[in-house]
Structure 1
Amino acid sequence: MSDSMKLSTPGFDPQALSQAQAGNLKNKGPNIKDVGKAAQEFEAVFLSQMLGQMWQGVEADDTFGGGEAENTWRGMMVEEYGKQIAKAGGVGIADDVKAAMIRMQEQEQGKGSK
């Protein structure tokens, strides 16, 4: 995703993301790697759901095995597609989720210091 797209995404806070990447968060909660992993997993689940809808109307083809076995394993295939797309950079959802999680941690930290 280009920087211009990130800056125009509603709710995206590039400053919070850059602070987190630089390790400037004072929060003693989950580290930035954990936050990034959780955001990527969220995007993978979202993408799997979207891909599942796409594959819902596609019938199994006998040319490549088809039948009930293909229908049985299709859900796992779609789930893995979602994981691989997210791992390869996804569609940008993980960046927004990560930034939102960082903001929430900072807000919680601010409440605890009052």
Structure 2
Amino acid sequence: MAGIVTTPQGPPDAVQLAQPGAAKAWKAAQDFEAMALGQLLAPIFDSVDTAHGPFGGGDGESAWQPMLTQEVAKHVAAHGGLGLAVPVFHQILRLQEAATEPAA
């Protein structure tokens, strides 16, 4: 791996988001992180015994629980999350650039 230089890349700034397709790519990256967080949080929420909670569990609560889990995941992703959105965003941009380059 000698010779490989990586530069830290953070979230896009206003100039990057003004480029064509960048805002859509950033939204897709954030949505991906929220989905991944939702998958990580689902087993945690599923393990909570809601029968003795303030709402008493039941079919109604179990029907709404996946939506609660997903909203919590979206909130966490929007406020920093695990840091997945940034590398996913930059990878999306690299793939878009590679797709638009003329074939040699």
Could you state the TM-score of these two structures normalised by the residue count of structure 1?
Answer: 0.71
Measure the CA separation in 1 of the matches of 2:80 and 2:95: 23
Q: Quick one: which of 56, 60, 64 aligns to 2:46?
A: 56
Measure the CA separation in 1 of the matches of 2:69 and 2:26: 22
Return the structure number with greater helix share. Answer: 1
Measure the CA separation in 1 of the matches of 2:40 and 2:53: 25
**Equivalent in the alignment of 1:10:** none
Measure the CA separation in 2 of the matches of 1:42 and 1:59: 29
Measure the CA separation in 2 of the matches of 1:90 and 1:81: 11
Q: Unaligned regions of 5+ residues in structure 1, if any?
A: 1-5, 8-13
Please tell me whether residue 33 in structure 1 is matched to residue 26 in structure 2: no
Aligned CA RMSD, in angstroms, stands at 2.5
Could you state the TM-score of these two structures normalised by the residue count of structure 2?
Answer: 0.77
- Runs ≥4 residues deviating over 2 A: none
Q: Unaligned regions of 5+ residues in structure 2, if any?
A: 1-6
**Equivalent in the alignment of 2:76:** 85
Judged with a 3 Å threshold, the aligned counterparts in structure 2 of structure 1 residues 81 and 22 are, in CA distance, closer, same or farther, namely: closer
Match of 2:80, SS?
A: coil
**Aligned residue pair count:** 95
Measure the CA separation in 1 of the matches of 2:70 and 2:53: 23
List per-residue Cα deviations over 1:9-29 (Å, max 9, x = no partner).
xxxxx3xx67x7175x6xxxx
- The answer to whether the 8 Å contact 2:17/2:23 transfers is no
Q: How does 1:1-114 map to 2 (within 5 A)?
A: 7=8, 14=9, 21=16, 31-68=21-58, 69-110=60-101, 112=102, 114=104
